[in-house]
Amino acid sequence: MRWQNRRLSDNVEDRRSGGGMRTLGVGGGIGGIIIVVLALLFNRNPQQVLQQVQQGSGNTQQSEQVTDNSDENSRFAATVLAETEDVWTKLFSEMNKTYQKPHMVLFRDFDQSGCGSAQAAMGPFYCPADEKVYLDLSFFNEMEQRFHVVGDFSRAYVIAHEVGHHVQNLLGITKKMDAMRSRLSEEEYNKLSVRLELQADFLAGVWAHHEQKMDDVLEAGDIEEALSAASAVGDDKLQKAAQGYVVPDAFTHGTSAQRMRWFKKGFESGNIKDGDTFNATDL
């Protein structure tokens, strides 16, 4: 995937160093405001702190104080998030809707989400309550080491899948699912949540279709990388859920074959209308 030197999203909250909330990839703006707030909290002169930060980053537009060049994974995540913003903003405006961009929280080991505790062991997830994607970047290493999924586009697929859940949330699909929850047996609800997951895979494919059209980012083997990620995290190969915690993305996901099929379908069609997994007779 050709992703270097592209726009970084300014909707990334980097919480990896514990406690603080920082923003990646901004110049003055929000980054500046956050620095001022932090400075006030820690009893330091904001003007002085801002000057130090600007000197430290060589006065470039990007805030190098939050992500140095060796931090490739966080820059990659911020880049892919920015690409999903561009594609979904366009697709939503074509539906006469406004795309509200989700935040992405980068955390290490443990964090709090609007849906309960976030733990690295849970894998990435989307929390509809606070409209944020939670990602511990060590998951990318785990994909390589444990599941033998390699390649940057496999990581892009993971992010695009979670953003797919945000799209479902904005379109009211998540709400409908919640409303049905009390009326259905657990088994029936699980079947429905598989359809929700497969639709998120489809939406990841739709994103890849338009991202390629807009920016020509794909290289040979990229789609295969995404498919191998979809395959590796299918239910038949992986079923892990952290007990005792709210785990928004630990529902059943469908089989590897189903996940690959729906991602591919989204990639080939690029049309959100082709992704009605809820009424599909052949999943």
Site residues (CB under 5 A) for Zn ion?
A: 197, 200, 249
Q: What angle do CA 95, 192, 126 make, to 5 degrees?
A: 60
For residues 131 and 259, the answer to whether their CB atoms sit within 8 Å is: no
Residue nearest Zn ion by beta-carbon distance: 249
Q: For residues 1 and 194, which CB has a smaller minimum distance to Zn ion in the complex?
A: 194
Which residues, 6+ apart, have CB-to-CB distance to 16 below 8 Å?
A: 74, 106, 107, 108, 137
Structural tokens at position 271: 């049309």
Q: For residues 8 and 167, which CB has a smaller minimum distance to Zn ion in the complex?
A: 167
| Rounded distance between C-alpha atoms, residue 214 and residue 25, angstroms | 21
Minimal distance, residue 188 CB to Zn ion, in Å: 19
Q: For residues 8 and 233, which CB has a smaller minimum distance to Zn ion in the complex?
A: 233
Q: For residues 38 and 241, which CB has a smaller minimum distance to Zn ion in the complex?
A: 241
Minimal distance, residue 94 CB to Zn ion, in Å: 24
Minimal distance, residue 126 CB to Zn ion, in Å: 7
Minimal distance, residue 200 CB to Zn ion, in Å: 5
Q: For residues 12 and 200, which CB has a smaller minimum distance to Zn ion in the complex?
A: 200
Q: For residues 157 and 267, which CB has a smaller minimum distance to Zn ion in the complex?
A: 157
Minimal distance, residue 85 CB to Zn ion, in Å: 19
Minimal distance, residue 101 CB to Zn ion, in Å: 19
Which residues, 6+ apart, have CB-to-CB distance to 111 below 8 Å?
A: 15, 105, 117, 118, 134
